[in-house]
Amino acid sequence: MQGLSRPEIILALDVDTIEEARDFADKLYPKIKIFKVGSHLFTAYGPKVIEMLHKHGAEVFLDLKYFDIPNTVAKAIEAATRLGVKMLTLHISGGKEMIEAAVKAAAYQAEVLSSIPPLLLGVTVLTSIQADKDEVLGMAQHGLDYGLDGVVCSVHEAEILRSQIKKNFIIVTPGIRENNSAGDDQKRVATVAQAQKAGSNFLVIGRPILKADDPIAKTEALLGEIYGRGN
């Protein structure tokens, strides 16, 4: 996991309708192979969105940021595992019992299905607010100790986590922007190059592609930034 030399783009489907989501999947798969389904789209359409993406051959990052009592989260993780998502999020601040219940639930349900459990990713501090790097480091260390596969954090903490945590884990980085673009409601943003240098495995990109005049050309340009180096 940690040894990936180049990160992979995840398109954040932060759109209003399943028709818009389908249109982006039609245009961008397989240039982009993983699509993020968040609370907005999932609340509106539920598993239909995931089924639609799977029909394209795409994988799903289910970003619902689970945070509840252990049994409730465990049941949600079992349901997500049955949906066949590649990865999902939960809040590290939910604590040891919640995370361990989630890990156990994913492994159990995957065994029942003879499938691979989803990657469980812990949310440290949302990129829409400022964060203390030591706080993020401590949260990430706890989450990984409790059994998570990786963490979601900004580029500004990713490099520190890579240098300080001596184990194999995934880093998913939201808030990817271009040098000359605004951060919108994101406070801790970074470019593709900065995220790659920091050791991120997956880059969650939404508005730079969704709002582009030509989403296909924009995706190809971003992929060029990733794969154009070191070849």
Average pLDDT of the residues of the chain: 91
Residue with the larger pLDDT of the pair 130 and 197: 197
Q: Residue 132's pLDDT is what?
A: 80
Quickly list DSSP for 87-108: EEEEEGGG-HHHHHHHHHHHHH
- pLDDT class of 207 with cuts at 50, 70, 90: very high
- pLDDT class of 204 with cuts at 50, 70, 90: very high
- The tens digit of pLDDT for each residue in 114-136 reads 999 999 999 987 766 666 888 89
- pLDDT class of 5 with cuts at 50, 70, 90: low
Considering the candidates 27, 33, 65, 86, report the single residue annotated as catalytic. 65
Decide if pLDDT at 188 tops 70: no
Q: Residue 110's pLDDT is what?
A: 98
- The tens digit of pLDDT for each residue in 41-70 reads 999 999 999 999 999 999 999 999 999 999
What does DSSP assign to residue 46?
Answer: T
Q: Residue 227's pLDDT is what?
A: 87
Q: Residue 8: name the closest of 125, 187, 181, 172 by CA.
A: 172
Percent of the chain whose predicted confidence (pLDDT) is above 90? 80
Residue whose structure tokens are 């924009």: 218
80-109 average pLDDT score = 98
- pLDDT class of 229 with cuts at 50, 70, 90: very low
Cis peptide before 7 (omega within 30 of 0): no
Q: Residue 167's pLDDT is what?
A: 92
Q: Residue 130's pLDDT is what?
A: 67
Domain locations along the chain:
8-227
What does DSSP assign to residue 117?
Answer: P
Residue 142 has which token pair?
């706890």
Give yes or no: 218 in active site: no
216-222 average pLDDT score = 96
Asked whether 115 and 84 are in contact (CB, 8 A), the reply is: yes
CA distance 119 to 76: 14
Q: Residue 155's pLDDT is what?
A: 87
What is the topology classification, in CATH, of domain 8-227?
A: TIM Barrel (3.20.20)
Q: Residue 190's pLDDT is what?
A: 80
Q: Residue 23's pLDDT is what?
A: 98
Residue with the larger pLDDT of the pair 220 and 125: 220
Decide if pLDDT at 176 tops 70: yes
Percent of the chain whose predicted confidence (pLDDT) is above 70? 90
